[in-house]
C-alpha cells in the first residue's frame, strides 16, 4: 500500500472535532431523556387491557423497530415539516428522530421489566390505599427501571452511535465535522480513524458498565 499516513493535519483541527463531539453528546443525552420517559409511557399502553390504547402503541413500536433508523431520520427531517407545518432547528429535529426511535426499543425493555413486578407488591399498594397512578409511580416505575437498567444503557449506547446519522441532514455533530474535515484536508483515512476511535472511547467504558451491572444483577429482561 503506497500511502503515507499524516495525522498532523487532523490534530490541527481538534477544536472543531471537540465542538462536534459536544453536539453529539448533547443530542444523545436529549434523545435519551425522550426515550426513557416516552418509552415508559408506551410500555404502559402496551400492557393496557383496552385495545384502543394497546394497538396504537404496538404499531408505534413495530414501526420504529422494523424500519431503518436512517429512513426515520430523513423522513422526520423532511416530511414532518411538510405534512404538519412544524419547523424546528436541525438539532431539535435530530433529538426528535433519535428519541422516538429509542422510545420504541425502551418500551419493550420496560414492558418486559414491568411484567416481572411481583403481584404481591401491587397488592400491597392496593392495601395501602394507593391509587393506580401512585402504584405506577411508587411501585411499578422503580422496580421496572432497576430491572431494565442494563438494557436501557445498552440502548443509550446504540443511540450515541446512531446519532452519526444526523450528519446526513446537516446537523453539525462529530460525524458531520469529520466529513467536512476529511474533504478539507484530503485525509479521509486519518479523519475517520480518529472519529471511530472517539466513538469507541465513549462507548467502550459504558459497555463495560453494562456488563458489570449484568454480572451483579444476573439475567435481565430483553
Position 222 in a domain: no
Position 7 in a domain: no
Query: What's the pLDDT at 218?
Result: 58
By residue range, what is the domain housing residue 82?
A: 12-217
How many domains, in total, are found in the chain? 1
pLDDT digits (tens, 9 = 90+) for 149-191: 999 999 999 999 999 999 999 899 999 999 999 999 888 999 9
Query: What's the pLDDT at 54?
Result: 96
On the question of pLDDT at 220 being above 80, the answer is no
pLDDT digits (tens, 9 = 90+) for 49-62: 999 999 999 999 99
Query: What's the pLDDT at 86?
Result: 85
Position 2 in a domain: no
The domain that holds 128 is classified in CATH as 1.10.3720.10
pTM exceeds cut of 0.85: yes
Question: In this structure, are residues 36 and 107 in contact, taking their beta carbons and an 8 Å threshold?
Answer: no
Which residues have C-beta within 8 Å of that of residue 88, sequence separation ≥ 6? 96
Position 91 in a domain: yes
Position 104 in a domain: yes
Q: Name the residue among 11, 43, 28, 56 with its Cα closest to residue 203.
A: 28
Position 5 in a domain: no
Characterise 221 by phi-psi region: left (phi > 0), alpha (psi -120 to 50), beta (else): beta
Measure Cα distances from 24 to 67, 112, 157 in Å.
23, 30, 12
pLDDT digits (tens, 9 = 90+) for 183-197: 998 889 999 999 999
Position 4 in a domain: no
Position 3 in a domain: no
Query: What's the pLDDT at 196?
Result: 95
On the question of pLDDT at 23 being above 50, the answer is yes
Amino acid at each position: 500500500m503506497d500511502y503515507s499516513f499524516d495525522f498532523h493535519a487532523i490534530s490541527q483541527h481538534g477544536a472543531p472535532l471537540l465542538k462536534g463531539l459536544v453536539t453529539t453528546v448533547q443530542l444523545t443525552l436529549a434523545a435519551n431523556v425522550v426515550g426513557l420517559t416516552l418509552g415508559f409511557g408506551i410500555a404502559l399502553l402496551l400492557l393496557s387491557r383496552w385495545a384502543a390504547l394497546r394497538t396504537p402503541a404496538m404499531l408505534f413500536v413495530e414501526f420504529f423497530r422494523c424500519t431503518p433508523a436512517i429512513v426515520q431520520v430523513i423522513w422526520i427531517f423532511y416530511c414532518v415539516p411538510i405534512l404538519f407545518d412544524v419547523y424546528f432547528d436541525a438539532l431539535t429535529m435530530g433529538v426528535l428522530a433519535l428519541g422516538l426511535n429509542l422510545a420504541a426499543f425502551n418500551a419493550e425493555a420496560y414492558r418486559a421489566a414491568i411484567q416481572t413486578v411481583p403481584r404481591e407488591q401491587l397488592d400491597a399498594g392496593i392495601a395501602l390505599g394507593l391509587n393506580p397512578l401512585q402504584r405506577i409511580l411508587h411501585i411499578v416505575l422503580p422496580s421496572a427501571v432497576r430491572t431494565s437498567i442494563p438494557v436501557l444503557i445498552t440502548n443509550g449506547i446504540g443511540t450515541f452511535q446512531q446519532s452519526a446519522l444526523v450528519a446526513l441532514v446537516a446537523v453539525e455533530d462529530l460525524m458531520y465535522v469529520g466529513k467536512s474535515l476529511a474533504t478539507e484536508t484530503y485525509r479521509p483515512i486519518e479523519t475517520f480513524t480518529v472519529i471511530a476511535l472517539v466513538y469507541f472511547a465513549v462507548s467502550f467504558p459504558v459497555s463495560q458498565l453494562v456488563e458489570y451491572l449484568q454480572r451483579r444483577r444476573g439475567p435481565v429482561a430483553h
